[in-house]
Amino acid sequence: MPFKYIFFCLWFLLSACSSRHQIIPRPLHPDQIITTEGHAIIKDGAKLLARKMAIRDAIREASMEGSSQITSHTKINRNTIALDAFTLKTSALINQTKVVDEWIEGDIYHIRAIVRLTADKVCTPQYRKRIVSTGFPFIFPSHTSQSESNDLQSGIPREIGHLLAESGAYISYNKTLTRLFQDPNLAPQLQEQQPYQRSDIISFAQKNQSQLVLSGVIRDLEAEENHYTRGGGILSNMESYTRYLNNSRTITLDIYVHDGYTGALLFQHRYKDNVSGLLRSIWIPANVMVGSSAFKKSITGEAITHIINHSVSDIQASLNCYPFYTRILKIEGNQVFIDAGAQERISAGDQLVVYSNLNTIEELSEHKIIGLHKKPVGVLTITEVTPLFSVGEMESPPYMLGIAVGDWVKSW
């Protein structure tokens, strides 16, 4: 017995010591500083563009080193690897980048940089992005009473736009009388399935000179119907009379943000809440504007205000890091005029990447756009800034780069 007992103890200790080692990912600290290098090919003598791309490469390398997750997938078919792929995700945000060394070897531009990473969920963007707010139509107009406020469809997106502008990261335009969705029940789909047709979002954003388009629908605002309790007796009568004290209302809002340059859906979220109380207390008083103190005092108005504030925080977390876009307004010799100025926080000396049309393939019989591809062709250095527009110069003459009025200018 003693021998067996000793043997068992030794076996237990050895088993505990030989357990599998688990690799715990390194946590990302708010002040994590990483020194890294980036590289880019110099094409057509565009050194400034190559420098921008090398800095971007260095930032990507630092972000992966700081906080990254790799997921691999391998498929075996008849003892042979049929598919071997991996995806990489990074959650690190860039706080500051400082170039400490740069050099050229052959046609390769090299950058050595110090990158400061942060674990914060919201970026502090350098430039202000333009966002245009459109109306939020009701899926069921009968969910609101004629004696209630009629400001919800325009007021909710208007208030979201105002709060985004107050954050200092956006310039908000109010087009809340516009309804993007022909059938709100199918939102965020704008039209019939015509994947090769120019998006209405792009046309609308270009018309309103905006980078982002805010839209949404009010999917539910229904108050629960009141019913008498069947049966007799004191309890049934009490339940029937107290129905006025137990009314409830469901609130469901869908909010979307599209990229006005590509038509892509960048943000989509559904917000839900439920309120209860007296029948009159769950209605929003007539002639009350969204965002006013009277609106926030009502039970439903308070819940909608909470949803508005929550959506603004979510949009900032999703889109503050998104690149800044604008368009070329005019080209005169080597001077390029862009549709952004001091109000977007453009400053003299800023450098922005210019993208030109690479090719466009169309079905001329039906005029459907099949492909529109853009590529970076050069760097625009800002030399003059006015409140509404800026002027810059390219490192090569614009006519040699193939750029034209309407082409994109991007922060990264």
DSSP string covering 66-106: HSEEEEEEEEEETTEEEEEEEEEEE--EEEEEEEEEEEEET
What is the DSSP secondary-structure string of 337-384?
EES--GGGT--TT-EEEEEEEEEEEEETTTTEEEEEEEEEEEEEEEEE
Task: Judge whether 171 and 260 are in contact, CB under 8 Å.
Answer: no
Rounded Cα–Cα distance for residues 139 and 148 (Å): 17
Residue 8 CB burial class (10 angstroms; 0-12, 13-18, ≥19): exposed
pLDDT of residue 199: 76
φ, ψ for residue 343, nearest 5 deg: -65, -25
Residue 214's DSSP bridge partners are 133, 257
pLDDT of residue 46: 80
Yes or no: is domain 325-410 CATH 2.40.10.410? yes
Task: Judge whether 208 and 132 are in contact, CB under 8 Å.
Answer: yes
Q: What is the mean pLDDT of residues 260-277?
A: 92
Whether 67 has a pLDDT exceeding 90, the answer reads no
Angle at 44 between CA 38 and CA 47, to 5 degrees: 40
pLDDT of residue 236: 54
Kindly state the percentage of the chain with pLDDT values over 70.
Answer: 71
Rounded Cα–Cα distance for residues 333 and 408 (Å): 18
Choose among 110, 48, 45, 111: nearest CA to 379: 48
Q: What is the mean pLDDT of residues 377-390?
A: 93
* 75: its two tokens: 């498929």
pLDDT of residue 80: 47
Which amino acid would we find at residue 97?
T
Choose among 138, 130, 131: nearest CA to 181: 138
Of the pLDDT bands very low, low, confident and very high (cuts 50, 70, 90), residue 405 is very high
pLDDT of residue 281: 75
Of the pLDDT bands very low, low, confident and very high (cuts 50, 70, 90), residue 105 is confident
Task: Judge whether 129 and 255 are in contact, CB under 8 Å.
Answer: no
Choose among 188, 171, 192, 199: nearest CA to 136: 188
| Angle between helical axes of 152-166 and 299-319 (0-180°, round to 10) | 50
* 343: its two tokens: 């109000």
Rounded Cα–Cα distance for residues 132 and 172 (Å): 6
Domain boundaries, the chain: 26-118, 129-319, 325-410
Task: Please tell me the number of Cα atoms within 13 Å of 230 on its side-chain side.
Answer: 0
Note the pLDDT tens digit of each residue in 141-180.
888 877 888 999 999 999 999 999 999 999 999 999 999 9
- Give the C-alpha distances (Å, rounded to integers) separating 383 from 327, 335, 355: 17, 9, 19
User: In 190-294, where do the E strands start and end?
Assistant: 212-220, 247-259, 265-277
User: In 183-338, where do the E strands start and end?
Assistant: 212-220, 247-259, 265-277, 325-332, 335-338
Is 155 strand, coil or helix?
helix
CATH class of the 129-319 domain in this structure: alpha beta
How many C-beta neighbours within 10 Å does residue 222 have?
Answer: 15
Whether 137 has a pLDDT exceeding 60, the answer reads yes
